[in-house]
Amino acid sequence: MSPARDRDAAPPQQPVDLGGREVLTDDDIQRALTRIAHEILEGNKGPQDLVLLGIPTRGVPLAHRLAAAIAGVEGAQVPTGSLDITMYRDDLRTQPTRAPEPMSVPSGGVDGKVVVLVDDVLYSGRTVRAALDSLADLGRPSAVRLAVLVDRGHRELPIRADYVGKNLPTSRSERVMVRLQDCDDVEGVWIA
């Protein structure tokens, strides 16, 4: 390598310590999202009538990344938005007051569409249940699918993901921390 090229190269990224062990790197996340995009296209037989709705906070950038991956494969833009679940949560009485999250629904709506809900971690299933309730107030999709970056188990409701980036068996005492450049200025998944 030439000396000029060495000076222009980005400095090596230092490992980030979030108090746990890293289980997915930024490259692993990208590979998982590419695979999920292909699985969504295969399951839907193409991009027609697809709508991706991210569950805030980290589900929204993941939905946009999936839409970009689908566009890269099919050359078609998939409508993408975000779904506010704040008022549909079943823990409102026991948790601190939360401000409603931004919600954006594609202009074509969700009626008759195949909606893919996108979230970062699937755990108890309660967030997804709230998302389904919120979605029901928006319209009537022809089908609803669920894509998650990490499925950590410990379901409390009969909910499962259709598309999973990584199944990550954990104990209830462990925390799964997803960090994305879009939100956190670092990228990876850690268990603490």
DSSP string, 92-157: TTTS---PPPP-B--TT-STTSEEEEEEEEESSSHHHHHHHHHHHHH---SEEEEEEEEE----SS
- What is the residue-averaged pLDDT of the chain? 90
Q: In angstroms, rounded to a whole number, what is the distance separating the alpha carbons of residues 100 and 182?
A: 20
Please report where in the chains the tokens 């990228």 appear, as a residue.
187
Residues with Cβ within 8 Å of 70's Cβ and at least 6 positions away in sequence, in order, are: 37, 40, 41, 47, 50, 76, 78
In the chain, the domains with their CATH numbers are 26-90+98-171 (3.40.50.2020)
Q: In angstroms, rounded to a whole number, what is the distance separating the alpha carbons of residues 147 and 156?
A: 18
pTM across the whole model: 0.89
In this predicted model, what pLDDT tens digit does every residue of 17-76 receive, in sequence order?
667 899 999 999 999 999 999 999 999 999 999 999 999 999 999 999 999 999 999 999
Q: In angstroms, rounded to a whole number, what is the distance separating the alpha carbons of residues 88 and 67?
A: 26
CA 173, 13, 164, 92 dihedral sign is: positive
pLDDT greater than 50 at residue 7: no
In this predicted model, what pLDDT tens digit does every residue of 164-184 receive, in sequence order?
999 999 999 999 999 999 999
pLDDT greater than 70 at residue 13: no
Omega within 30 of 0 (cis) for the link into 94: no
DSSP state of 159: -
**Residue 15 pLDDT class (50, 70, 90 cuts):** low
Q: Among 14-23, 49-58, 116-125, 143-152, name the one with the lowest average pLDDT.
A: 14-23
**Residue 1 pLDDT class (50, 70, 90 cuts):** very low
Q: Among 95-99, 108-112, 167-171, name the one with the lowest average pLDDT.
A: 95-99
